[in-house]
Amino acid sequence: MKITAVTVEVTSEPKAHPVRDAIQLLDRNGVTRVRIDTDEGISGVSTTYFGRVESSPAVLAKIVTDQLGPAIIGEDPAVIRGIRQQLQTLTDYQGTAGLSSYGISAIDQALWDLLGKSLDVPVWKLLGAQRTAIPSYAMVGWLELDVAGLERVSARAMEQGFRGVKMKVGGGPLTEDVQRIKAVRNVIGPDAPLMVDANQAFGYAEALRRGRVYEELDCRWFEEPLPAGDTDGHVRLAEKLDIPIATGENRYGQAAFRDLIARGGVGVVQPDLRRAGGLTDCLEIGLMAAGFGVPYASHGGGAHIHVLAALPNTIYVESGLLPAGVQLVDGCYPLPTGPGLSSWDG
Ligand SMILES: [Mg+2]
């Protein structure tokens, strides 16, 4: 089988209900959809999401249309790691991170979709599954919500059957975090996991000060306490705190995870499909983490669920409130049954 065409579609719209974390307002729904066609009539597709900046989906589309797509015409779509290497070499001069990484990921995901469709099986079966359902928590505690809104949405998540709830912190003083965490804990009960996410908002001293309090409040993990690239800071923080440090969604490429994991700077590793480089890189990062005994919890869900099914160290898939038509079973997301990726959210 040979690749005959790579085509791209873009949409970018204002979000009906913008959400806020400690560093940004997420106010757009942008999508870049990539489709890879072959000479045997089988196609693979991927969907890359953007939460802000109106023009980003079109900029990514330009990279895929002008650079990455033409480079893989005529290749065998089953040689997924070979194509990844080829695209990394191609983009090395301009930088393989950033939107190049988003593009390589978009191609990687479409290739896995294509492979699954060509064999008529879901991708998680190709990867050698460890499990057939993924424990899930709901990321619902955004900062634009007041305490009453936080309580409502946390109650809704628990009604939908999620194991626990994640909430944003760092939008104001520590006293405000404490008030909000106690409100959510009161709704979800003493035993459900409650995660806090600072979205890189703090410096080292403030992360340590707040981390000690989140620990006292029995939070399950402390996510992105520091700027993502600060490996030394993560290592020092992890030595001082008992609460696991979760990070990874803003690291680009597999190499960015090696020292962080090996030096003990992360207690829950959280790669993002787009930034890490795709399903192939997330799988390999997850296996590297498994070798060091570090649990894996995806940033976001979607196509990532196939990797989560395969990894031995998976603990959670991240979700918003449930999309229509999906029901949790014992707090777990069921895996898609259709061929290829066929993820719940596209
Ligand atoms: Mg996060």
- Considering the chain, what percentage of its residues have pLDDT values greater than 90? 97
Distance 197 CA to ligand 1 centre (A): 6
Cα(139) to centroid(ligand 1), Å = 9
Cα dist. 84→33, 69, 91, 204 in Å? 18, 12, 11, 36
Give pLDDT, residue 346.
36
> Which entry of 168, 234, 304, 306 is annotated as an active-site residue?
168
Contact 100, 280 (CB under 8 A): no
330 C-alpha to center of ligand 1: Å? 24
Would you state the pLDDT for residue 86?
Answer: 98
- Tell the CATH topology of 124-334: TIM Barrel (3.20.20)
Average pLDDT of the residues in 283-301? 97
Residues 148-182 have pLDDT tens digits of: 999 999 999 999 999 999 999 999 999 999 999 99
Q: Which two tokens stand for residue 157?
A: 């998540």
Examine the pLDDT at 130 and tell me if it is beyond 90: yes
The residue extents of the domains of the chain are 3-119, 124-334
Q: Rounded to the nearest whole angstrom, what is the distance from the C-alpha of residue 224 to the centroid of ligand 1? A: 7
168 catalytic? Reply is yes
Distance CA 344, CA 346 (A): 6
Q: What is the pTM of this model?
A: 0.96
Q: State the amino acid at position 83 in one-letter form.
A: I
Taking the centre of ligand 1 as the mean of its atom positions, its distance from the CA of residue 168, in whole angstroms, is 8
Provide the pLDDT for residue 155.
98
- Out of 117, 299, 304, 306, which one is annotated catalytic? 299
Q: One-letter amino acid identity for 266?
A: V
Asked whether the beta carbons of 204 and 165 are under 8 A apart, the reply is no
Q: Name the E strands within the chain.
A: 3-20, 25-38, 43-50, 133-141, 165-168, 194-197, 222-223, 245-247, 268-269, 296-297, 314-319, 332-334
- As a dihedral over the C-alpha atoms of residue 6, residue 11, residue 17, residue 18, rounded to 10 degrees, the angle is 70
CATH code of domain 3-119: 3.30.390.10
* pLDDT higher than 90, residue 265: yes
Predicted confidence band at 345 (pLDDT cuts at 50, 70, 90)?
very low
What's the number of CA atoms in the CB half-sphere (13 Å) around residue 261? 24
116-120 long-range contacts, CB within 8 A, separation 24+? 116/339, 116/340, 116/341, 117/42, 117/43, 117/44, 117/339, 117/340, 118/1, 118/40, 118/42, 118/77, 118/78, 119/339, 120/339
Taking residues 250-259, what's their average pLDDT?
96
> In the beta sheet, which residues pair with residue 49?
31
Mean pLDDT of 18-35: 97
Distance from Cα 247 to the centre of ligand 1, integer Å: 8
15 burial via Cβ count (<10 Å: 0-12, 13-18, 19+): middle
